[in-house]
Every structure is written in structure tokens, then in C-alpha cells.
Chains A and B, each alone.
Chain A
């Protein structure tokens, strides 16, 4: 996969991560908050929601989909398609559902919701790893160019 495809809006609609988690809402008065602090996940009729892909869903402002925590991150995982074996380990382990995978094919990272914890790198089984942590401001192309070689088993 090209560097260009690994963009922030990978399989996302315009609402994904549109506001900072702490600053997504006007601080409403007591007369405006929802009854019982019950929060609807979607805008409008969601009867067929399970048939829709995330980028097709009308997530509500209360849904974490529309919030971003990207600014919490100081290091970020970078994905290398050339090495990945699509084992889905990272998808299973990611605590913030920030691994984007379709039809059991790994596509990349949801950088709106990834907090940079590094679990995906830890659980990646390939050699070298298909996911590695880089500084938040490191250029994607440079990261891929710096990717390490396969480690050889040391003979004892």
C-alpha cells in the first residue's frame, strides 16, 4: 500500500474525529441536557445500522466516533503493508478499535482514535514487525524508509 493511502480519513466519513473529546459540545444548561443522561448513538433511524459500514453510519455527536483523541498521542504506530501477513492480532488487541481492517485485510490506523499505546506493535508477530512506533511528527515516508531489516537468528 502506498504512503498516500494511509491518511487520516482512511475509510472514514466527515464526522470521524471532528471534535476534540473535551471540547465537542457546548456546555449545556440543566434545561438542555438529555433526560436520564441517556445518549443516542446515531442520528435518525438506525434500524439497518448493523448492515452499514462505519463510514456510512450517521454517528451522533455523543458517539465517540465523532470525537478525536489524536492530540493525546506523543508516539504513533506506523503500518508497513509490505511485511504484514493480515493475522489480525493488532485488530484483536487494540483497546480503542483503531485498527482498520476489511474482509480480514489490514488497511491501516484510525489516527483519530489511536492514543499511541503501542499494544499493536507488541503483538505483531512478523519479522521485522509490520507496525512500529515513531515520533508523532515523523514523516510517514521517512518512517517506512527507515524500516529495519529482518533480524537473523543468532547462532549459539
Chain B
């Protein structure tokens, strides 16, 4: 029987501590981990909860992130509730095994504390690692602050383990900006948290000796495609389950989550679309713009996978100019987020002007003033009737203005 952990109704936690408390309250059976900045405290704290008797679980320290996710697969295939955390290079080393976990339909919850990928070496927050995982077959949801890192981690177990879903899920938070920023967090009681998350219902677990199973079968061209199609459909079909879990969470806490979040969007002409903490900073800028008479709004991605095409199109159906922000070096293309939003909007009736801002790489600060400047540029585009700048621009960068790709529409 685990020792009781004293919690206050209102805590001041950073994102890492908040996520680790969610792992404790969800009664995670196994954490297999290898530490990396800035995600280390999540698994370190879980280890200390085990050592101090606050949780009946296993903490397994391994030799690499590749081994960490491999261990998670073993524990999850055995029927346990399993979680770990990583960032950046660790995430990259884990990448091969991420596909194994999702292909085997194992409901592991991975807390990803987003950080730039070297080189040059950088420990701070951007979304390079999150983007690296976008085709890995995992569900991906993002927190914009520490409270959400906690809330979404709890929701993640319930979503991932739902028999209708049975897919691994990543919960993202911005390195340092969320992970190391202490803010007011209002936790659930242990009892309320575990009642919400519930018990894991093992499916095809290897410790069921009445039904021995093989994991990791080889499938060549005659079978592989069907299995991947089934997996893709499961990801697409997870949307109603995610919505139902969010609804139940709102019932319990009053805190509302949607796969696409809209702020000040009732009558917005100009929009910033973002991921992570940028969303909240942009919300402040939108308020400021509205004081100046500009109808500005923010549309944010809560769920990056499955990508909510219908909801994005619905949220943006009345706006005229949209700035999609990508916090990851695009490597010779438009930003990935821009490409996806643009794909959603191509078949819309309003066909708004779409521009792409690459910003905040390696933890470069994203200020309210910068968000206001982006809004102003969208207003200029509306007045001109076409995109007056390059479609892709780098924002907050030193040196000559950098941008690529021009519109043919005028």
C-alpha cells in the first residue's frame, strides 16, 4: 500500500513536476527511462516516488533512450500501465522504437519536453523533436502551460488505453518555458485522479498464460500494408474518444480541452495559429490588437495527431488572413504545421491568405510585440488583397530579412 502524498488544493509547480505527479496519481506500473535535459525531473521524480513508497511501481534505469522505449514496450505488452519522458536527442534515439510501440498498438504515454535538435547543440525549447515524431503513429497532444501538462498526462492514459483506441500517446510541453516555469497548478485529489483514469484493461498481454501471443510478427508486401492501414484508421478514429475523455475531464474539473482551441474567433479577420506556450502569448497580443480595433484571434492545436482537419477548417471559416507559426527548422520546405493547415484550408469556401512564420528556434524568445507585428502584417495583406511578403518568413531572426516562396494570387 502506497504512502499518502500530501497535496494542497493550489500548488506552484513547474511542468516537469506537474507531469510527474500525474504519473504518480495514475498509478503507473513501470517507468523505463534514460535522463535528458529538460525532461529529466519527470522520470527522476517518479523514481523518488517509488523509492519513498508513494507508489507501487517499478523504475528501470537503462543505458539509452532506445533501450528506454524498448523496455516500455516490454512492460506495456505485459499488460502494465507504462510511461516515460524524453527530449530532443533522446527522442531522436528513441525514434526507431516509437514505430514499434505504435505498430504493436501499445498504450504507452510519453511525456515529451520539447527541445531543439543539434547541431548546433542547444538545450532549449523548440518543436524539432515533436515534428520528428509526427509520422510515428502516436497520438500527439500539446500543453500550453504546467497545469495542462498535468491535466493532459492524466487524460492521455485514459485515451491511449481505451479499447477502441489502444495507441501510444505523446504529451508535449515546451522545454524550460513550461517544464521549468513554476505556475499555479490545481491538482486533483489522488482518489479523484485514479477514479478518472481508471484501471488499465489489458489486451493481448504477454503475461496472460492462458493465451500466449506473438508480438512483432514479420509481414511483407502481402500483409504489411493492411496492418498499417488499420493502424492509421485507429488513429483517425480516436477523435471521438479524445473528445469524450476531454468532456469527462471538464465535468470533473471545469477545465475545458478541445482538439482545436479557438480564442477570440467569433469575428476574427486575422489569426495566429500556434502550438505550445506561443498560443498563450499570442492570446495576449490578440487582446491588445482588439483594443486597437483589429479583429484578431488565435487558433491553437491541442491535438497534432490525429490532425483535426475538419475542426481547423471550421474554426477558420470566416477569417481572411492566417499566420501559421512553426517552431522547428523546416529543412527545405514550408513549415510542417503550415502545410497541414493549408491542406485543410485549400478546400474551404473562404480560401484565406496563408503565411508561414518560422520563429523561436532553440528557445529564442517569442514576445507579445512580435505577435502583434505578425498580426499587423496580416492586416496589411488584407488591405492589399494579396500576400505582400514571402509566404514563408523567419521572425525574430538577426541579419537581413529571410523569406521564401511568393504567391501567384493577387
Interface positions of A (Cβ within 8 A of B): 27-33, 35-42, 45-47, 49, 62
If A33-B230, A36-B204, A39-B217 touch, whether A49 touches B166 (CB-CB below 8 Å) is no
User: In the complex, what's the smallest C-beta–C-beta distance from A107 to chain B, in angstroms?
Assistant: 26
If A38-B204, A38-B214 touch, whether A33 touches B227 (CB-CB below 8 Å) is yes
Knowing that A30-B226, A30-B233, A49-B212 are A-B contacts, what are 17 other residue pairs whose CB atoms are under 8 Å apart, sorted by A's residue number?
A: A27-B223, A30-B229, A31-B230, A32-B226, A33-B223, A35-B166, A35-B234, A36-B106, A37-B217, A38-B104, A38-B214, A38-B215, A39-B213, A41-B212, A41-B214, A46-B209, A46-B210
How many of chain B's residues touch chain A, expressed as a range?
20 to 34
Is B306 in contact with chain A by the CB < 8 A criterion? Answer: no
Residues of B within 8 A of A28 (CB): 226
Residue from the list B103, B210, B211, B222 in contact with A36, Cβ < 8 A: B103
Chain B 186-206 interface mask (CB, 8 Å, partner A; 1/0) = 000000000000000001100
Find the A residue at minimum CB distance from B224. A37
User: In the complex, what's the smallest C-beta–C-beta distance from A29 to chain B, in angstroms?
Assistant: 6
Are B219 and A37 in contact, CB atoms less than 8 angstroms apart? yes
Are B230 and A62 in contact, CB atoms less than 8 angstroms apart? no
User: In the complex, what's the smallest C-beta–C-beta distance from A95 to chain B, in angstroms?
Assistant: 17
Are B226 and A40 in contact, CB atoms less than 8 angstroms apart? no
How distant is the Cα of A40 from the Cα of B210 in the complex, in angstroms? Answer: 10
How distant is the Cα of A40 from the Cα of B213 in the complex, in angstroms? Answer: 4
Residues of A within 8 A of B219 (CB): 37
Find the A residue at minimum CB distance from B163. A35
Residues of A within 8 A of B214 (CB): 38-41, 62
Interface positions of B (Cβ within 8 A of A): 103-106, 166, 203-204, 209-217, 219, 222-223, 225-227, 229-231, 233-234
Are B226 and A29 in contact, CB atoms less than 8 angstroms apart? yes
Residues of A within 8 A of B212 (CB): 40-42, 46, 49
Residues of A within 8 A of B105 (CB): 35-36, 38
Find the B residue at minimum CB distance from A45. B210
Find the B residue at minimum CB distance from A32. B226
If A41-B213, A47-B210 touch, whether A35 touches B226 (CB-CB below 8 Å) is no
How distant is the Cα of A29 from the Cα of B226 in the complex, in angstroms? Answer: 6
Residues of A within 8 A of B217 (CB): 37-39, 62
Decide if the interface of chain B is mainly helix, strand, loop or mixed: loop
How distant is the Cα of A38 from the Cα of B227 in the complex, in angstroms? Answer: 10
Find the A residue at minimum CB distance from B203. A35
Are B209 and A37 in contact, CB atoms less than 8 angstroms apart? no
User: In the complex, what's the smallest C-beta–C-beta distance from B103 to chain A, in angstroms?
Assistant: 7
How distant is the Cα of A41 from the Cα of B214 in the complex, in angstroms? Answer: 7
User: In the complex, what's the smallest C-beta–C-beta distance from A37 to chain B, in angstroms?
Assistant: 5
Find the A residue at minimum CB distance from B106. A36
Residues of B within 8 A of A46 (CB): 209-212
How distant is the Cα of A29 from the Cα of B223 in the complex, in angstroms? Answer: 9
Find the A residue at minimum CB distance from B216. A37
User: In the complex, what's the smallest C-beta–C-beta distance from A120 to chain B, in angstroms?
Assistant: 26
Residues of A within 8 A of B231 (CB): 36
Instruction: Give the one of A38, A39, A42 with max B CB within 10 A.
Output: A38
How distant is the Cα of A154 from the Cα of B204 in the complex, in angstroms? Answer: 62
Residues of A within 8 A of B225 (CB): 30
How distant is the Cα of A107 from the Cα of B223 in the complex, in angstroms? Answer: 37
Show 11 residue pairs from A and B whose CB-CB distance is below 8 angstroms, ordered by the A residue.
A29-B226, A31-B230, A33-B227, A35-B203, A36-B106, A36-B215, A37-B104, A37-B227, A39-B213, A42-B212, A45-B210
Are A40 and B222 in contact, CB atoms less than 8 angstroms apart? no
How distant is the Cα of A113 from the Cα of B219 in the complex, in angstroms? Answer: 20
Find the B residue at minimum CB distance from A39. B214
Residue from the list A32, A38, A45 in contact with B213, Cβ < 8 A: A38
Residues of A within 8 A of B226 (CB): 28-30, 32-33
Find the A residue at minimum CB distance from B233. A30
User: In the complex, what's the smallest C-beta–C-beta distance from A28 to chain B, in angstroms?
Assistant: 7
How distant is the Cα of A35 from the Cα of B237 in the complex, in angstroms? Answer: 14
Instruction: Give the one of A33, A49, A62 with max B CB within 10 A.
Output: A33
How distant is the Cα of A127 from the Cα of B354 in the complex, in angstroms? Answer: 83
User: In the complex, what's the smallest C-beta–C-beta distance from A20 to chain B, in angstroms?
Assistant: 14
User: In the complex, what's the smallest C-beta–C-beta distance from B69 to chain A, in angstroms?
Assistant: 16
Residues of B within 8 A of A30 (CB): 225-227, 229-230, 233
Find the A residue at minimum CB distance from B167. A36
Residues of A within 8 A of B216 (CB): 37
How distant is the Cα of A29 from the Cα of B233 in the complex, in angstroms? Answer: 13
How distant is the Cα of A38 from the Cα of B223 in the complex, in angstroms? Answer: 13
User: In the complex, what's the smallest C-beta–C-beta distance from B162 to chain A, in angstroms?
Assistant: 13
List of 6 A-B pairs having minimum Cβ-Cβ separation, nearest first:
A36-B105, A30-B229, A30-B226, A47-B210, A38-B204, A39-B214
